[in-house]
Amino acid sequence: MPITPAVVEAINNQIQAEFQSAYQYLAMSAWFHENNLPGCAHWMNIQWQEETAHAMKLFGYVHDRGGAVTLQAITAPEHTYASPLDVFRAVREHEAWITSRITELYDIAVAHRDLPLQIMLQWFISEQVEEEAVVDSIIERLQMIGGDGPSIYLLDRELGGRPGGDAVHSSTAEQH
């Protein structure tokens, strides 16, 4: 059964949301760089890369199924925050929003009897569970250290060790 126009539209909307997420995380990475937290910046840069990869996974899926990708506008992301804790709380809120969108897309796949999309979305659902758990853990540790006290530098160092990313950002994170 070919992919339906309604499913293509829903996936195109999710592609936009994934690219918007990437853009938001890149802005957060910039904020961390500007606030001398290169490890946190590295962590957010990896998030940016992951969200871009998610968008491209959906992009490829639409083409593999014979649909047409229609890219949508990306708005300017938030770029000012009060503290590292404020940033990670915004990440948690954003990841919950993405989870709700993936759930809605899954519901559309079920309604249109699109089994291939349902199967692919299982990966996204599992990924969102992991994303939310990791961010919750970071928020809990930030709360334990008081949000942005001197111990933030130890957490920054830990987050800078997150695998992934290009050599430029990895080496930047290792310098602290």
Query: In the chain, what are the domains?
Result: 5-174 (1.20.1260.10)
State what percent of residues in the chain have pLDDT above 90. 83
Residue 172: which pLDDT band, with cuts at 50, 70 and 90? Answer: very low
Q: Residues 165, 46: contact at Cβ < 8 Å?
A: yes
Give percent helix, percent strand, percent coil of the chain, each to the nearest 5. Answer: 75, 0, 25
pLDDT band at 104 (very low <50, low <70, confident <90, very high): very high
Residue 120 tokens, joined: 């692919």
Which region holds residue 36: left if phi is over 0, alpha if psi is between -120 and 50, else beta?
A: left
Helix, strand or coil, per DSSP, at residue 166: coil
pLDDT averaged over every residue in the chain: 91
State residue 153's pLDDT score: 86
CA distances 26 to 43, 78, 85, 164, Å, are 10, 10, 17, 15
Rounded mean pLDDT, 60-85? 95
Q: What is the pLDDT of residues 23-60, one digit of tens each?
A: 999 999 999 999 999 999 999 999 999 999 999 999 99
Q: What does the pLDDT look like over 117-168, one tens digit per residue? A: 999 999 999 999 999 999 999 999 999 988 666 788 889 998 998 887 653 3
Indicate if the pLDDT at residue 111 is higher than 90: yes
Q: Which residue has the higher pLDDT, 116 or 164?
A: 116
